[in-house]
A and B are shown apart, each in its own frame.
Chain A
């Protein structure tokens, strides 16, 4: 089946720094692809290349098998973008934000007024329709940004850190709206710093570190691949800490300090070996999470 979006060898350089390096990705209709990685991993640059804001220095982007470089204007008609920054048009009210944004697309949005009404209802914005976006809370501004980005009925939506700065209730609202769009058959590419968000929303994850892809696939598969099966946890003030660190180092591992604890991701073999080496030690063993992965990536060099 032809992918909704397929990128191959995507590369972007600023000066002598390569910020996205030979990246391949794919997104199908009705799928949420989560782009994950610490600050500077290249998530936003990747998104910007995919929706045409930045020009790649290498690689190809195809929408439904058609080359984005050759059919840029035509294909941008099928792309929706919700940027990380608030780019709402504060010179207009909520309804006009949707109307005016639609005017930046051709072919024109059919039955625009009905479409605007539909979005105002769907996103819970109908009662604010005549108000300035200034009057909206952060959560409702984000709703309006997402509604605006799909006013022209795109097939794929880019959501760049859509819940940053929102309270928990507003975050859940955005998650539900994203899920609605996925169920309606839209492809969604999401970047986020929130691991729970990535895990809940994404069908697949693509993990970036310093512009390179370090893993791709379902959450559990990525955790297994990058972290192993378990995380050993020891309190940092444990009297046996030195012995623990020595045993861990002997297995080529390095504990990571997280507040008052030391964390060490290990596979099943590593767990057995460390248990044998430290028979008296009281260690907590738990499954790895995306937070562990995020912390690992933030502190390690890519392979």
Chain B
């Protein structure tokens, strides 16, 4: 297939068949699949938000004074929107590819490799959508309880945003899935990329720097723009100036990553 054909494969029935396969597995185990993402934001919000806010108090953001809980709540959403598809496309996809040989079975059918890669990306992004929705429900609960003050109506925008950005994060992760020789080597994309990226993106603390190289790095980081867009929506009730850069950086990351992921996966799986 041509590059254009590879890119257009995302809407093909075969990509959706792979997505459906993963969704079937997920919903078969929905009790265990739903609980951790519901608990994680509760724990994080209690620890970072309510716990740290006593020490941090408030902080300045876009010219206004915010409580730490109001700052970190959108950060939690952005982190979920990043971490869920990123780790799904790293670990779960690797297990399906390497240990379970699920991909070999699928590729012996009418499903071709671009559909398989798109199916995995769509599924990882869909998981980002679901987990983000769960986090939003939890945060709405904290808002109702008075623990944080958010524009809760804007929470409805979070899962779709998470899905769209999640496509890029999942495609990026699949590059490493195709590259790492053994699952132990996943530590590299996790500890050298995933964790640092989630920390330098205005998720848990504001990042202000005068260093041009770090500023440039932050500006091309879609997770930073996602966190800020979530924050603008939930704190100010409007999309703010980061929505455009988010679309641009996530779009570029998706296009580059999906093409690269397809080439590398083809080399690894098809030989």
Closest to A108 in B: B13
CA distance A85 to B20 in the complex (A): 24
As a 0/1 sequence over residues 53 to 78 of chain A, the CB contacts with chain B under 8 angstroms (1 = contact) are 11100000000000000000100110
A residues 244-295 with Cβ under 8 Å of B? none
Q: Is the CB of A83 within 8 A of B271?
A: no
Which residues of B sit under 8 angstroms from A111, Cβ to Cβ? none
From known contacts A14-B271, A87-B105, infer whether A103 and B21 are also in contact, taking CB-CB under 8 Å. Answer: yes
Q: Which residue of A85, A88, A106, A148 is within 8 Å of B13 (Cβ)?
A: A106
A104 contacts the other chain (CB 8 A): yes
From known contacts A14-B271, A92-B25, A100-B21, infer whether A77 and B108 are also in contact, taking CB-CB under 8 Å. Answer: no
Which residues of B sit under 8 angstroms from A86, Cβ to Cβ? 101
Q: Is the CB of B20 within 8 A of A87?
A: no
As a 0/1 sequence over residues 84 to 124 of chain A, the CB contacts with chain B under 8 angstroms (1 = contact) are 01111111100010001101111000000000000000000
Which residues of B sit under 8 angstroms from A85, Cβ to Cβ? 101, 104
A36 contacts the other chain (CB 8 A): no
CA distance A87 to B101 in the complex (A): 5
Which residues of B sit under 8 angstroms from A140, Cβ to Cβ? none
With contacts defined as CB atoms under 8 Å apart, how many contacts are there between chain A and chain B in the complex?
A: 58
From known contacts A90-B100, A106-B13, infer whether A83 and B105 are also in contact, taking CB-CB under 8 Å. Answer: yes
Which residues of B sit under 8 angstroms from A103, Cβ to Cβ? 17, 20-21
B111 contacts the other chain (CB 8 A): yes
In the complex, what's the smallest C-beta–C-beta distance from A19 to chain B, in angstroms?
A: 10
Q: Is the CB of B108 within 8 A of A81?
A: yes
Majority SS of interface residues in chain B? helix
From known contacts A83-B105, A92-B25, A101-B105, infer whether A77 and B110 are also in contact, taking CB-CB under 8 Å. Answer: yes
Closest to A145 in B: B105
Q: Is the CB of A104 within 8 A of B106?
A: yes
CA distance A148 to B21 in the complex (A): 15
From known contacts A87-B105, A89-B105, A92-B25, infer whether A105 and B110 are also in contact, taking CB-CB under 8 Å. Answer: yes
CA distance A90 to B107 in the complex (A): 16
Q: Is the CB of B109 within 8 A of A76?
A: yes
In the complex, what's the smallest C-beta–C-beta distance from A1 to chain B, in angstroms?
A: 27
From known contacts A14-B271, A53-B270, A73-B110, infer whether A104 and B14 are also in contact, taking CB-CB under 8 Å. Answer: yes
B102 contacts the other chain (CB 8 A): yes
CA distance A91 to B111 in the complex (A): 19
B residues 94-116 with Cβ under 8 Å of A? 100-102, 104-112
In the complex, what's the smallest C-beta–C-beta distance from A9 to chain B, in angstroms?
A: 21
B24 contacts the other chain (CB 8 A): yes
How many of chain B's residues have a CB under 8 angstroms from any CB in A? 22
Which residues of A sit under 8 angstroms from B20, Cβ to Cβ? 103
Q: Is the CB of A104 within 8 A of B17?
A: yes
Q: Which residue of A77, A87, A100 is within 8 Å of B24 (Cβ)?
A: A100
In the complex, what's the smallest C-beta–C-beta distance from A235 to chain B, in angstroms?
A: 45
Which residues of B sit under 8 angstroms from A89, Cβ to Cβ? 21, 100, 102, 105
Q: Is the CB of B100 within 8 A of A53?
A: no
Q: Is the CB of A87 within 8 A of B108?
A: yes
Which residues of B sit under 8 angstroms from A96, Cβ to Cβ? 24
CA distance A86 to B105 in the complex (A): 9
Q: Is the CB of B109 within 8 A of A101?
A: yes
As a 0/1 sequence over residues 72 to 114 of chain B, the CB contacts with chain A under 8 angstroms (1 = contact) are 0000000000000000000000000000111011111111100
CA distance A83 to B109 in the complex (A): 11
Closest to B102 in A: A89
In the complex, what's the smallest C-beta–C-beta distance from A136 to chain B, in angstroms?
A: 16
Q: Which residue of A53, A76, A88, A148 is within 8 Å of B110 (Cβ)?
A: A76
Q: Is the CB of B109 within 8 A of A105?
A: yes
Closest to B266 in A: A55
Closest to A91 in B: B25
Which residues of B sit under 8 angstroms from A87, Cβ to Cβ? 101-102, 104-105, 108
Which residues of B sit under 8 angstroms from A73, Cβ to Cβ? 110, 112
CA distance A21 to B102 in the complex (A): 30
Q: Is the CB of B270 within 8 A of A54?
A: yes
CA distance A55 to B270 in the complex (A): 9
Q: Is the CB of B107 within 8 A of A53?
A: yes
Closest to B24 in A: A100
As a 0/1 sequence over residues 247 to 271 of chain B, the CB contacts with chain A under 8 angstroms (1 = contact) are 0000000000000000000000011
Which residues of B sit under 8 angstroms from A106, Cβ to Cβ? 13, 110
Which residues of A sit under 8 angstroms from B112, Cβ to Cβ? 73
Q: Is the CB of B104 within 8 A of A104?
A: no
CA distance A77 to B109 in the complex (A): 8
Additional A-B contacts beyond A89-B21, A92-B25 (5; CB < 8 A): A51-B108, A85-B104, A86-B101, A90-B100, A103-B20
Closest A-B pairs by Cβ, 6 of them: A87-B105, A104-B109, A81-B108, A91-B25, A87-B101, A76-B110
- 19 interchain pairs (CB within 8 A)? A73-B110, A76-B110, A77-B110, A83-B105, A85-B101, A87-B102, A89-B100, A89-B105, A91-B100, A92-B24, A96-B24, A100-B21, A101-B109, A103-B20, A104-B109, A104-B110, A105-B109, A105-B110, A148-B105
